[in-house]
A and B are shown apart, each in its own frame.
Chain A
Amino acid sequence: MSRSVSQHALPIRAEDDVVLVRRKVRELADRLGFSSFAAAAITTATSELARNAWVHGGGGDAIVEEVERLGQRGIRVTFTDEGPGIADLSRAMEGGFSTVRSLGLGLSGSRRLVDEMELDTAPGQGTRVVIVKWKRL
């Protein structure tokens, strides 16, 4: 089980908020000493998912956490929105299918960039996505 070391809650209520969430994750990755590749991966996944919450979910919230598990440090980001949810999840995860903007790479691409991803959604129920990236020991 991972332990939360610190956490920051950030709103996603405007386009600029997507940039702020991304920047917060980048700062944390740099502070924890992530490699440039790992930092780019978690920052990019954050950008995709924050944009999804903004564009498809009509806005929401992000929680950026430093987490620890058996001495290993990582970053966990939780995105929640109260939007329409995702009806066809398997299709959304295939990637490449495009909705309004930002395309289906948002979900499928993000999953390939992180170590853990958990998705909770249903039509009309909003969407909650949790991603974790661990610093390599």
Chain B
Amino acid sequence: MRDHPIPILRVGKTLLVTIQIELRDTVADAFQEDILSEIERMGAPGLVIDISGLDTVDSYVARVLVDTGQMARLMGTEAVLVGMRPEVAATLVRMGFQTRGLRTALNVDEGLALLGELLGRG
């Protein structure tokens, strides 16, 4: 794991990543690689990325988040993005950003519940 301040926690068999700080581009890239490595290492079938701590998400960071979800899915892990603030959702839609089927939920609890359903353990 590289030195960046984004904790990756384990809740049951799910990885929970909470992004609390604004992301520089290179930190976002490192974060993506670390998550994917951790999925493999832990054999995690589910991933929840919590962005409730972010008051700004630009197109680069949004792209990294969506790509990470797609990459996880390719690996066989269901990913859910949770906690997007209303102003962030409004900004991304107004910019014309496409989320390309990324699963989302209101908060961590809802995200874990959705994962439970997707993974047949609800």
CB proximity of B19 to chain A, nearest CB, Å: 15
> When the two chains form the complex, which single residue of B25, B26, B96 contacts A108, counting CB atoms closer than 8 Å?
B96
A58 within 8 A of B: no
CB of A40 within 8 A of CB of B56, answer yes
A-binding segment of B72-80, B83-91, B103-111 = B83-91
Q: Contact check, A40 vs B24: say whether CB atoms are below 8 A apart.
A: no
B83: min CB distance to chain A, Å: 15
Report the minimum CB–CB distance from B37 to chain A (whole Å).
22
Q: Does A109 contact B (CB under 8 A)?
A: yes
B16-38 Cβ-contact flags toward A at 8 Å (1 or 0):
00000010111000000000000
Residues of A whose CB lies within 8 Å of any CB of B are 15-16, 18-19, 22-23, 26, 36-37, 39-41, 43-44, 47-48, 51, 95-96, 101-103, 105-106, 108-110, 112-113
Q: Is the CB of B87 within 8 A of A36?
A: yes
Within the complex, the shortest CB–CB distance from B33 to chain A, in Å, comes to: 16
User: In the complex, which residues 24-63 of chain B have their Cβ closer than 8 Å to any Cβ of chain A?
Assistant: 24-26, 55-60, 63
Main DSSP-derived SS at the A contact region: helix
B100 within 8 Å of A (CB atoms): no
Q: Which of B22, B57, B86, B97 contacts A19 (CB 8 A)?
A: B22
| Secondary structure type dominating chain B contacts | helix
Given known A22-B22, A108-B96, contact A40–B59 (CB-CB < 8 A): no
Known contacts A26-B56, A105-B59; 8 further A-B pairs (Cβ under 8 A):
A37-B91, A40-B55, A40-B85, A44-B95, A106-B59, A108-B96, A112-B94, A112-B95
Task: Note all chain A residues with C-beta closer than 8 A to B94.
Answer: 41, 109, 112-113
Are B56 and A51 in contact, CB atoms less than 8 angstroms apart?
A: no
CB-based nearest B residue for A101:
B60
Contact B88 A40 (CB under 8 A): yes
Interface centre among B55, B60, B88 (most CB of A within 10 A): B60
Of B26, B86, B87, the contact of A15 (CB 8 Å cutoff) = B26
